[in-house]
Amino acid sequence: MPEGDTVWNTARVLERALVGDVLTGSDFRVPQLATTDLTGWTVAESASRGKHLLLRLTRDDQAMTLHSHLRMDGAWRAFAPGERWSGRPAHLIRVVLRTKRSVAIGYHLHEMALIPTAEEGALLDYLGPDLLGADWNPDEAVRRIEQNPTASIAEALLDQRNLAGVGNLYKAETLFLRGLWPWTPVADVKDLPGTVKLAQKLVASNRGRWTQTTTGSLRRGETSYVYGRRAMPCRRCGTAIQKADQDERVTYWCPRCQPKPG
Ligand SMILES: [Zn+2]
């Protein structure tokens, strides 16, 4: 599940594979960039902001950014030249970027765009504080969440305008660990700063590895408290974990540890 930590890790993959090198070829397989050729551009920087990936390119005095978003199913993989592209089926390839030492392949990427780096802000200004950014600001995230007191806390955590980087997994796990029923209105959440800080801690603690865990265990089947565990016993109380639709996403919760208020 691409959440903030996955996107951050992906930016590091592209950094190791491409940054500092000149592109020797590019092959875009999306209509809006089909005629684009980035040969000769230098990859200056690979960054993430929330769930957005930013590959910054320079040539002479020009600076462009290749923007992509993983959404639910996108991925970037890096291979050595000549290595078999073992990532995903070929029909999912959206772009191939080549340097002398690496081939980076973007699979099923979304929102692909090549924009002047100076205009990145227009794409990203709506985002709340980035959980994994150097400028992470929990007070600002809380302030933004509080502006919509009737929203459910689950919806508020997923809203990238409030804070950038929480996806469905960390949403569900944060709410379990805080004992919050997912439909609790923001106004009724007793310790909003504590909830926001815990979400950030969970995402940050998974940076640098691909297995996402909120329980501390990296063993298959033991990595979450409620996410993906419908009908399985709660790790704390044994009650069957519930699953339901909520705002076009699914949510998981323990009805005993996260009771409906009142
Ligand atoms: Zn429970």
Neighbours of 89 (CB within 10 A): 9
Given this model, what pLDDT does residue 213 score? 93
Measured CA to CA in angstroms, residue 98 lies from 25, 43, 67, 69, 148 at distances of 5, 11, 17, 20, 45
Task: Calculate how far, in angstroms, residue 222's C-alpha sits from the geometric centre of ligand 1.
Answer: 15
Which CA distances in Å does 34 have to 73, 108, 113, 213?
A: 22, 15, 11, 39
Name the least confident of 1-15, 138-152, 219-233: 1-15
CA of 185 to the centre of ligand 1 (A): 21
Q: 204: pLDDT confidence band, cut at 50, 70 and 90?
A: very high
Distance of CA 208 to the CA centre of its chain: 13
Amino acid present at 224: S
Q: What mean pLDDT, rounded, does the chain reach?
A: 95
pLDDT in tens, 78-107: 999 999 998 799 999 999 999 999 999 999
Span 71-77, average pLDDT: 91
Res 253: pLDDT:
98
Name the more confident of 72 and 35. 35
* DSSP three-state, residue 171: helix
Q: Which amino acid is at 4?
A: G
Percent of the chain residues past pLDDT 70, beyond the cut: 100
Backbone angles phi and psi of 93, in degrees to 5: -70, 130
252 alpha carbon – ligand 1 mean position (Å): 11
Ligand 1 center to 225 CA (angstroms):
9
Give the pLDDT score at 85: 93
Contacts of 114 (CB under 8 A, 6+ apart): 33, 36, 64, 65, 66, 67
Model confidence at 161: pLDDT above 70: yes
CA distance 26 to 29: 10
pLDDT of residue 57: 98
pLDDT in tens, 129-157: 999 998 899 999 999 999 999 999 999 99
pLDDT score for 193? 98
Check whether 2 has a pLDDT greater than 80: no
CA of 12 to the centre of ligand 1 (A): 36
The pLDDT, as a whole number, for residue 224 is: 97
Distance (Å, rounded) from C-alpha 144 to C-alpha 225?
27
3-class DSSP assignment, residue 59: strand
Q: Give the mean pLDDT of 213-224.
A: 94
Compute, in angstroms, the gap from residue 215 CA to the centroid of ligand 1.
14
131's torsion region: left (phi>0), alpha (psi -120 to 50) or beta?
alpha
Phi, psi torsion values for 118, nearest 5 degrees: -65, -15
State how far the Cα of 47 lies from the Cα of 132, in Å rounded to an integer: 11
Give the separation between CA 90 and CA 214, rounded to whole angstroms.
33
Active site residues: 2-3, 51, 249
Q: What is the pLDDT of residue 1?
A: 61
